[in-house]
Amino acid sequence: MEIVGTYNPKAGETNFKIDRIQYWVSKGAQLSDTMHNFMVHQKAIEGKKINVLPKKKPTLKRKELKAKK
């Protein structure tokens, strides 16, 4: 295992070794969706960002919930 960077979400600080990440990707490693978005943001790779947030379901009204019971 190799540490290729750190991320501090409270401070919003990122510290990635982009050259090492690109090396491992060239060897067949796959980035998670979140890491892919970080790399696109830092312009280390080309492409669009991937939506990693879950899709929201429409909320049911109280009458609809009572009708289901």
Position 68 scores a pLDDT of: 65
Q: 2 lies in a domain?
A: yes
CB contact burial 13-48 (16+ within 10 A = b; e otherwise): eeebeeeebeeebeeeeebeeebbbbbbeeeeeeee
Give the ranges where 1-69 is alpha helix by DSSP (H).
Answer: 18-26, 33-41, 62-68
Residue among 12, 55, 50 at smallest CA distance from 31 = 50
Q: Flag whether pLDDT at 52 surpasses 90.
A: no
Q: How many domains are contained in the chain?
A: 1
- Using the predicted structure, report yes or no on whether residue 13 has a pLDDT greater than 70: yes
Q: Residue range 13-18: average pLDDT?
A: 92
Q: Does residue 61 form part of some domain?
A: no
In a domain, 18, yes or no: yes
* Residues 19-31 pLDDT 10s: 999 999 999 999 9
DSSP symbol at 5: E
Structural domain harbouring 44: 1-51
Residue 26 domain flag? yes
